[in-house]
Amino acid sequence: MEEGRGRALRALDYMWGGWGAASSLLLLTALWEAGHAAYGTLVLPSPRDTVASLWDMSAAGKVLPAILETSRNALGGFLSATVAGGILGGMAGASDMMRRLLQPIATLLLGIPAIAWVVLALLWFGGTGAAVSFTVLITTAPIVFAGAAQGARTLDGSLRRMARSFRVPATTLIRDVYLPHMLSYLFPALATGLALSWKVTVMAELLSGAGGIGDGLAVARVQVDTVKAMAWVLAVVGLLLAVEYLMLEPIRRHLQVWRREMPGSGDIQAGGF
């Protein structure tokens, strides 16, 4: 009963927080309109024209397939990165030797610009979705790796000893001791990785012509159609906002319940994009 009330209050609090986000987005739209009034349609089309163009493209059946294509490319790469980065990071966190072996590689991969990977992926895979997914994998895996390594490395030995002393089964050990600890490090890394995935995907699609939102942007650029370009930008921003606020933020809040009233828990940082 008490628990249910607390949960309802937290949900209400979360939704109320949405007003703040809505106000800041409306303010940005107002600035956008002002920019349009100052520089004209060719430089910055008005928000209304952009929305109308997005609407027309949606009606013509162009937007949804593009969003699905982009999501497939981004999520394909991101899920592979999560598996590879998570496993290798867990190994690096558990063993010093593995960390010494893998850490320099992760640092090196992080240092290579995403655009360089796009070029290499195009040469290796041609202008296909595989090139896009590969670029996402290679740019986000080091981020997931770092989070997983940190999570596995900082596992509290005394908690492990306590759990062993109660002879709890391995599944309980993983679910109640290892996973919650790992997630507190891994989740921020995953959120950052996912946000980066969309950006890298659009960039790789733009250069590869492999379909998706990036391809739409490339066509708009060729046609010097700023309104269409802005409409695609709007589509990708809408996608990012939906993923952030409908998926990541509720998970983040759920995972962070136990940190309530801890110092610094008042303003939970967004994964950021």
Residues in binding contact with another protein, number by CB under 8 A: 24
We find the least distance from the C-beta atom of residue 165 to another protein, in angstroms, to be: 4
Q: Are 239 and 273 in contact (CB under 8 A)?
A: no
We find the least distance from the C-beta atom of residue 12 to another protein, in angstroms, to be: 19
Report CA 52 to chain centroid distance, whole Å: 28
Show Cβ contacts of residue 15 under 8 Å, excluding neighbours closer than 6 positions.
Answer: none
5 binds another protein (CB under 8 A): no
Question: Distance between CA atoms of 204 and 193, rounded to whole angstroms?
Answer: 16
170 binds another protein (CB under 8 A): no
Question: Distance between CA atoms of 182 and 192, rounded to whole angstroms?
Answer: 16
19 binds another protein (CB under 8 A): no
164: buried, middle or exposed (CB in 10 Å: 19+, 13-18, 0-12)? exposed
Dihedrals phi, psi of 224, to nearest 5 degrees: 45, 45
262 binds another protein (CB under 8 A): yes
Q: Are 271 and 248 in contact (CB under 8 A)?
A: yes
Give, as ranges, the residues between 25 and 64 that touch another protein (CB under 8 A): none
Q: CB-wise, 19 or 258, nearer to another protein?
A: 258
Q: CB-wise, 105 or 162, nearer to another protein?
A: 162
Among 15, 261, 267, 269, interactor with another protein by CB under 8 A: 261
260 binds another protein (CB under 8 A): yes
We find the least distance from the C-beta atom of residue 4 to another protein, in angstroms, to be: 12
Question: Distance between CA atoms of 139 and 110, rounded to whole angstroms?
Answer: 7
164 binds another protein (CB under 8 A): yes
169 binds another protein (CB under 8 A): yes
Residue that is written with structure tokens 């952030």 in the block: 244
Taking contact as CB under 8 A, which single stretch among the options 91-99, 161-169, 196-204, 216-224 is the one that binds another protein?
161-169
**Contact flags string 172-191 toward another protein, x per CB under 8 A:** x---xx--xx--x-------
Question: Distance between CA atoms of 60 and 253, rounded to whole angstroms?
Answer: 38
Q: DSSP code of 267? A: S
We find the least distance from the C-beta atom of residue 8 to another protein, in angstroms, to be: 15
Which residues contact another protein (rule: CB under 8 A)? Answer: 2-3, 158-159, 161-169, 172, 176-177, 180-181, 184, 258-262
